[in-house]
Amino acid sequence: MIQSSEPIDRWVRPNIRQLRPYSSARNEFSGEASVWLDANESPFNEPYNRYPDPLQWGVKQRLAEQRGVRPEQIFLGVGSDEAIDLLYRIFCEPGRHNAVAITPTYGMYRVCADINGVEYREVPLSNDFALRADALLAAADADSRLLFVCSPNNPTGNAFPAAELERLVADFEGIVVIDEAYIDFSSQPSWLGRLDDFPNLVVLQTFSKAWGSAGVRLGMAFASPTIIGYYNRVKYPYNISEPVQRYALAMLDRADEVRRWVTDILAERSRFSAQLGALPSVHRVYPSDANFVLARIDDAERLYRWLVGEGIVVRNRSSVMLCGDCLRITIGTAREMDILMEALRRYHKTD
Ligand code: PMP
């Protein structure tokens, strides 16, 4: 069912609702022409002399076909980080509104709240990293505008049950953001198929993980055309450069190859998890729906430093809530995981 977008408009900051967005030369004329003298560009150095398409319709068209959504349900950002930051700028009045989120989770939700002067309310997962939908809803009040859930979650690696997430999207009186940065590695289905059911749902995805393109900085927000319309008003006019748009189109043609990369990473994740779990100092390797595993280890800090000495860098998450003595280990190639396992076996011999 498509519901009225009225509440969405009411949740938008008045200055954004009333904003007259910047109108670029490419906005004002985007048809065909043979002589372009409207944007103070150089006539030399094609194709980089021209400003890129501000709304990236070519990329959105291909992405829409691939993900089964409509182009007007897509925002492209400089990483998902831009998509996160803009949500605060669209929906949260500094010093007045608040955001609710699970903890532990991806750090940028809080950093963007802090930058924007927005109160950030953290609701801990249970000790076994389960979502507490009741507690999240109880933490919200009439000034809560955003609710962040990362699924599969970073750094815990687990995806949350669809029924629990659906309760949040249905019952939260504001925007629910489901960050699916790691969805390609998960056995759970994406929420993209439910966009038309929930006008308050924003699904984040990224080219940085399964798509092997962290260096180009390209993230996606999928949402109702109303929310995407607000994104388009607030973003920098030409946020996605011409080289990145070209790169994205080329990358979208390589979907089969990306699927093979994912298959390899998943195989490596199970092989490595089993080997890691067999080591004496490893108490627990948490089940993962992502391209990393979280493991609880005797004196994680000491092992972390020892690995750095061997030239191997993992992420020490020991200081993060519920993650005491936990290391987060990204799944690399079979060879990289073998190097790590050899080092771990040596560490246990010298222990
Ligand atoms: N969401 C999650 C859950 C992440 O873990 C990360 C990066 N580690 C991002 C978003 C950021 O993605 P991007 O590179 O697209 O900014």
Q: How far apart are CA 213 and CA 48, in angstroms?
A: 21
Categorise residue 40: left if φ over 0, alpha if ψ from -120 to 50, beta otherwise.
Answer: left
Q: How far apart are CA 259 and CA 186, in angstroms?
A: 13
Token pair 């801990």 is found at 124
The model's pLDDT over 121-161, given as tens digits with 9 standing for 90+, comes to 999 999 999 999 999 999 999 999 999 999 999 999 999 99
Q: How far apart are CA 96 and CA 118, in angstroms?
A: 7
With beta carbons less than 8 A apart as the criterion, state whether 137 and 93 touch. Answer: no
Q: How far apart are CA 208 and CA 263, in angstroms?
A: 17
The model's pLDDT over 156-200, given as tens digits with 9 standing for 90+, comes to 999 999 999 999 999 999 999 999 999 999 999 999 999 999 999
The size of the chain, in residues, is: 351
Confirm or reject: Cβ of 205 under 6 Å from ligand 1.
no
- 206: CA distance to ligand 1 center in Å? 7
The model's pLDDT over 233-262, given as tens digits with 9 standing for 90+, comes to 999 999 999 999 999 999 999 999 999 999
pLDDT at 351 over 90: no
Nearest to 306 by CA among 347, 270, 275, 247: 347
Q: If you take atom 6 of ligand 1, which residue's CA is the nearest one? A: 181
Mean pLDDT to the nearest integer, 22-37: 89
- 229: CA distance to ligand 1 center in Å? 23
Confirm or reject: Cβ of 105 under 6 Å from ligand 1.
no
The three-class DSSP label of residue 285 is strand
DSSP assignment of 272-298 = HHHHHHTSTTEEEE---SSSEEEEEET
pLDDT at 5: 55
Q: What percent of the chain has pLDDT over 70?
A: 98
pLDDT at 283: 97
DSSP assignment of 309-328 = HTT---EE-TTSTT-TTEEE
Nearest to 204 by CA among 82, 107, 118: 82
Nearest to 164 by CA among 126, 199, 196, 127: 126
The model's pLDDT over 195-224, given as tens digits with 9 standing for 90+, comes to 999 999 999 999 999 999 999 999 999 999
Mean pLDDT to the nearest integer, 330-343: 98
pLDDT at 81 over 50: yes
Q: How far apart are CA 72 and CA 264, in angstroms?
A: 33
| Residue 318 in tokens | 């020991």
DSSP assignment of 39-105 = S---SSSTTTTSPPPTT-HHHHHHHHHHHTS-GGGEEEESHHHHHHHHHHHHH--TTT-EEEEEES-
Q: To test ligand 1's pocket by mutation, which of 78, 81, 109 has the most ligand atoms within 8 angstroms of CB?
A: 81
Mean pLDDT to the nearest integer, 50-67: 97
Mean pLDDT to the nearest integer, 7-13: 95
DSSP assignment of 119-154 = EEEEEEPPTT----HHHHHHH--TTEEEEEEESS-T
pLDDT band at residue 1 under the 50/70/90 scheme = very low
Average pLDDT of the residues of the chain: 96
Q: If you take atom 2 of ligand 1, which residue's CA is the nearest one? A: 181
pLDDT at 167: 97
The distance from CA 339 to its chain's CA centroid, rounded to whole angstroms, is 29
Nearest to 341 by CA among 314, 305, 301, 302: 314
Nearest to 287 by CA among 209, 177, 162, 187: 187
pTM of the model: 0.96
pLDDT at 30: 81
| Residue 237 in tokens | 């006019």
pLDDT at 2 over 70: no
- 181: CA distance to ligand 1 center in Å? 6
pLDDT at 29: 86
